[in-house]
Amino acid sequence: MAGGAPARAALRLRLARFRSWSALQLEIPAGASVALTGPNGAGKTNLLEALSLLAPGRGLRGASPEEFARRPERAGWAVEVLWRAPEIEADSAELRVGADSEGRRVARLDGREVGRSALGAPARLVWLTPALDRLFLESPGDRRRFWDRLTLAFVPEHGERALAYERAMRERNRLLEEASPDSRWLGALEEEMARAGTALSLARVETLRRLSAAAEEASEDFPAARLSLTGLPEEALAEGFAPEEAEAAFRRRLAEGRPRDAAARRALIGPHRMDLEAVYAAKETPAALCSTGEQKALLVGMILAHARALAEFDDAPPVLLLDEISAHFDAGRRAALFQALADLGAQVWMTGAEARLFESAPPETLRLTVRETLEGSVLEGA
């Protein structure tokens, strides 16, 4: 589909043996978003997770392929989506993600097997789950993974570059444990770390620039966070260093730090040490010191800014997956959220335990109930 999925494209979804879902076929008309309600454990989040596998990466739970298979069958699972343009039936894209005969995750776009980096082609996906509510209080690793997921939506190759960097770093760590490591081999590994690491950092910094620009549209209900990235070479790139200068400086620091890294038995500098810092801009308060409600509002503001940036980047709004998004908001903030989502023009999938949470959602929202049965999760109201 040229230029990505069109605004609020019609969608046909099929699941087979995926977690709590034995089977599901669902048609979502163009212009509609979806509100899924039902008790905890009914399978609402499982449905969002299935959709998230249509993006590069490991989905909204970061699970392994064997965890997706429905129990007790443990048979092959599949997620299929057909996107159709609202006015041009021929303008469509069919994406299938499932398990092969050996249980590995395989993706096919219009019948052709593709790598994970091609998964973002039909539509960009953005998601937010309750697990992220403590993002500003958790470890740097949690924030790094969050930022890399945002970056993946812009740069599908970001994950492959991260793997290349980590492979070179592990091999360098192993080599530094030797009594007399080969300096030429160390140099080659450090060159690979510098090249892949600078590409990683450059993509992260570009994501920062895009989100910062999109955050200028922030509202009072979902205020902007002033964001910055710490670590090498992110800070150098953010300060305006040319990529080749940042790469050379990183390679030099790696070579100079061999004794220190050997003693620590790990690399002490690099993009694997990056952290995300956020400040509630209007109050000049670090996000970690804000109230729980303020932190959630800042986080939602970041996701909305990310969605706006993606829409500008791809000339089409993304698909948003928002798990339990309005559970802790009052009626006024829920209404503001639904208005902000409507303004995006994106297709939004939302979950919540109670139907009242979506009373102020746009009238075209498709309201469905998920129920758990002995045969698995079922959908009512479709």
List Cα–Cα distances, 143 to 147, 250, 269, in angstroms.
6, 22, 17
CA dist., res. 325 & res. 277, Å (int): 23
CA dist., res. 353 & res. 356, Å (int): 9
| pLDDT tens track, the chain, 382 positions | 434 444 456 789 999 999 999 999 999 987 789 999 999 999 999 999 999 999 988 899 999 988 999 987 767 899 999 887 655 455 678 899 998 878 888 999 888 998 877 777 677 899 999 999 999 999 999 999 999 999 999 998 999 999 999 999 999 999 999 999 999 999 999 999 999 999 999 999 999 999 999 998 888 899 999 999 999 899 999 999 999 999 999 999 999 999 999 999 999 999 999 999 999 999 999 999 999 999 999 999 999 999 999 999 987 778 999 999 988 889 999 999 999 999 988 889 999 999 999 999 999 899 999 999 999 999 998 6
Instruction: State how far Cα 228 lies from the chain centre.
Output: 19
CA-wise closest residue to 233 among 223, 244, 225: 244
What is the pLDDT at residue 5? Answer: 43
Q: Are strands 285-286 and 21-28 parallel, antiparallel or unpaired?
A: unpaired
Contacts for 4 with CB less than 8 Å, ≥ 6 apart: 121, 122, 123, 124, 314, 315, 316
What is the pLDDT at residue 2? Answer: 37
CA-wise closest residue to 117 among 73, 141, 151, 146: 151
Q: Are strands 366-373 and 275-280 parallel, antiparallel or unpaired?
A: unpaired
Domains assigned to the chain? 1-123+316-382 (3.40.50.300)
Task: Give 89: exposed, middle or buried? Use CB within 10 Å, 0-12, 13-18, 19+.
Answer: exposed
What is the pLDDT at residue 6? Answer: 42
What is the pLDDT at residue 153? Answer: 92
Contact 202, 244 (CB under 8 A): no
CA dist., res. 358 & res. 352, Å (int): 8
For the chain, the 3-state helix, strand and coil shares in percent, each to the nearest 5, are 40, 25, 35
Q: Are strands 34-37 and 366-373 parallel, antiparallel or unpaired?
A: parallel
What is the pLDDT at residue 8? Answer: 55
Contact 309, 211 (CB under 8 A): yes
